[in-house]
Amino acid sequence: MLGRKTVEYRVRPVHYRGPIYIYASLGRYTAEEEREFVQEVGYEIEDLPRGMVIGTVEITACEDDGGGSFAWQLENPRRLKTPLPPIERPQPIWFHPFGRPD
């Protein structure tokens, strides 16, 4: 949500352009990886939300990287003032955290 990540690499292309929700997973990294993260960004791991929707980002383009992955171009990250718990379980690719659209 700091705007540093401008590309997300996935094995599938995305045709959608527009805002998507960003979900902070419940998963953890190794202790060493978490120490490195704290040094890099200055946040304590325990202070970060987990299992919550924390903001939005816009998908503006998708390009084949030629190596079996697709580069989703990301812009305009926006952090929610208060993280929100989703009402549906997250899925590996897409999920509707606040219910499926009609």
In a domain, 95, yes or no: no
> For 95, left (φ over 0), alpha (ψ -120 to 50), or beta?
beta
In a domain, 102, yes or no: no
Give the domain extent around 20.
7-83
**pTM (two decimals):** 0.78
Q: For the chain, what's the residue count?
A: 102
In a domain, 56, yes or no: yes
For the residues 8-23, what does the mean pLDDT come to?
Answer: 93
In a domain, 91, yes or no: no
Domains of the chain: total? 1
| Bridge partners, residue 33, by sequence | none
- Residue 29's pLDDT band, with cuts at 50, 70 and 90, is confident
**What pLDDT sits at residue 92?**
65
Tens-place pLDDT, residues 53-82: 999 999 999 999 999 999 999 999 999 999
In a domain, 43, yes or no: yes
In a domain, 88, yes or no: no
